[in-house]
Amino acid sequence: MSLRDHSASSRPQHGAWWTHDNALQRVVTDLLAHELAALRPGRPPPAPPWPPGLQFVRDLGADSLELMALGTALAEALHLQRTAVDAQLLARPCLGDWIASARAGLDAATAAEPAAAPALTFRTSGSAGSPKRCTHPLATLGQEVAALADLLPGRRRILCAVPAHHIYGFLFTVLLPWHLGCAPDDAGAVEVIDVRQAGPAALGGLARAGDLVVAHPGWWAAAARVVPAFGPDIVGVTSTAPCPDDVAAALAAAGLRLLQVYGSSETAGVGWRDGAGAPFALLPYWRRTDDPGTLVRVLPDGTMRDTPLQDKLDWRDAVRFLPAGRIDAAVQVGGTNVFPAYVAEVLALHPQVDAAAVRLMRPDEGARLKAYVVANAAADVDALRAELPAWAAQRLTTAERPVAWTFGPRLPRQASGKPADWIIDA
């Protein structure tokens, strides 16, 4: 399938995405739920969607510091700082009021600087110590959505199993339906349906011809087990982590066309494929360079920008590639990038731990992190073995927490002195 060049500006404008359907409500709710969960490890808030009348203090028990953190996160993500919405948010701690304030802030910012390119800021998981802020002009996100729309003709509904405040969810469940609803050859608005609470097993009864199902690899792996066949003209899309080839092949055998999008929060979408194991093809505004760690992006105004990559790429030709491992040594756990070296540093902060090593389990062991711990001479190893998982849970996210613990007198090494793998304790 060929793609048009979307470096020009002759596409639907996305400046008023927040007026489309309930897009802003979904973005705000998902962002606040994520932030509140991060503020309260082990005490997740109610799962979205939330009713507009939800009161943060009365219904969620939020205190003043949590309200400040939530307001800051919202202002940062939507670039509302210049509109003085912070005070408005704190004065009215209700979801519906915050959505209204965000909409007013976006309108005011656009009216004040109509020629300025709006932008949004997304954050990575923060596995390396603190979340990384990734800011993208709305024009470049719209450029990507226009290219993706060419790959997804005929979509009338979007079933979403991902949050709208992450860049992947924002592109496919906020900007894409807005683009399709504004396109000259489209008959009208594209409905967005949240299926996170329904789960993969319900997909067979929910999906119909013309649907696009937006999910992540873990969700698709479950769907491959419980949905024996898909109806005609149903398309799926997956991103956030590599989709195993056996999962993609099983879904294809069941009649689903699965579009896999390769990218990151830093780059947004870079390439796509719709066949298990096939090379990815660059989206039309990317160009390969002689630097293996960099691509060039052709921006909507025709200028070009060097963009660092997060992965090594194994190039098959000028536009086709396969990812070949993270440059920054991150691994995927449940669709989240985590950094084993950082987790090991946290474990070594325990006063009874001399050293620690952390690795992703081998496929025969599982799909989570495992830890090897060297206790100091004064430690009671049995007591430390019982205490350390709970201690780590207070300092690490769910994806970062090791689920298998091995204790020994020294870190495992090869004869060359390089770190070695180890067998998990029974």
Neighbours of 91 (CB within 10 A): 9
DSSP, collapsed to helix, strand or coil, labels residue 260 as strand
pLDDT digits (tens, 9 = 90+) for 331-347: 889 888 898 988 999 99
Cα end-to-end distance, the chain, whole Å: 51
Q: What tokens does 224 get?
A: 């491959």
Q: According to the model, what pLDDT value does residue 4 have?
A: 56
- The mean per-residue pLDDT over the stretch 132-148 comes to 93
Q: According to the model, what pLDDT value does residue 426 have?
A: 63
Q: Are 55 and 93 in contact (CB under 8 A)?
A: yes
Closest C-alpha among 170, 212, 123 to residue 14: 170
pLDDT digits (tens, 9 = 90+) for 3-15: 555 544 434 444 4
Q: Are 69 and 60 in contact (CB under 8 A)?
A: no
Q: Rounded CA gap, 180 and 294, in Å?
A: 31
Highest mean pLDDT among 36-45, 79-88, 128-137: 36-45
pLDDT digits (tens, 9 = 90+) for 152-186: 999 999 999 999 999 999 999 999 998 887 654 54
Q: Rounded CA gap, 391 and 115, in Å?
A: 51
- The mean per-residue pLDDT over the stretch 241-246 comes to 90
Label the pairing between strands 211-215 and 235-238: parallel
Q: According to the model, what pLDDT value does residue 114 have?
A: 67
Highest mean pLDDT among 107-116, 290-299, 409-418: 290-299
- What string of DSSP letters covers 112-144? H-TTS--EEEEE---TTSSPPEEEEEHHHHHHH
- What string of DSSP letters covers 56-106? HHHHH---HHHHHHHHHHHHHHHT-GGGTHHHHHHH--BHHHHHHHHHHHH
Q: Are 383 and 353 in contact (CB under 8 A)?
A: no
From 9-13, 84-88, 106-110, the region with the lowest mean pLDDT: 9-13
Rg (CA), the chain: 23
Q: Rounded CA gap, 193 and 26, in Å?
A: 11
* pLDDT bucket at 115, cuts 50 / 70 / 90: low
- The mean per-residue pLDDT over the stretch 248-266 comes to 95
pTM of this prediction exceeds 0.75: yes
Name the residue with higher pLDDT: 419 or 234.
Answer: 234
Q: According to the model, what pLDDT value does residue 128 have?
A: 37
Q: Are 251 and 237 in contact (CB under 8 A)?
A: no
- The mean per-residue pLDDT over the stretch 87-98 comes to 87
Tokens 């996170």 correspond to what residue?
A: 196
Tokens 């990317």 correspond to what residue?
A: 286
From 113-117, 118-122, 311-315, 365-369, the region with the lowest mean pLDDT: 113-117
Measured CA to CA in angstroms, residue 181 lies from 8, 13, 149, 188, 213 at distances of 20, 11, 11, 5, 17
Close Cβ partners of 19 (under 8 Å, ≥ 6 residues apart):
103
- The mean per-residue pLDDT over the stretch 115-125 comes to 79
Q: Are 207 and 195 in contact (CB under 8 A)?
A: no
Mean per-residue pLDDT of the chain: 88
From 67-76, 227-236, 411-420, the region with the lowest mean pLDDT: 411-420
Q: Residues of the chain with pLDDT > 90: what percent? A: 68
Neighbours of 33 (CB within 10 A): 21
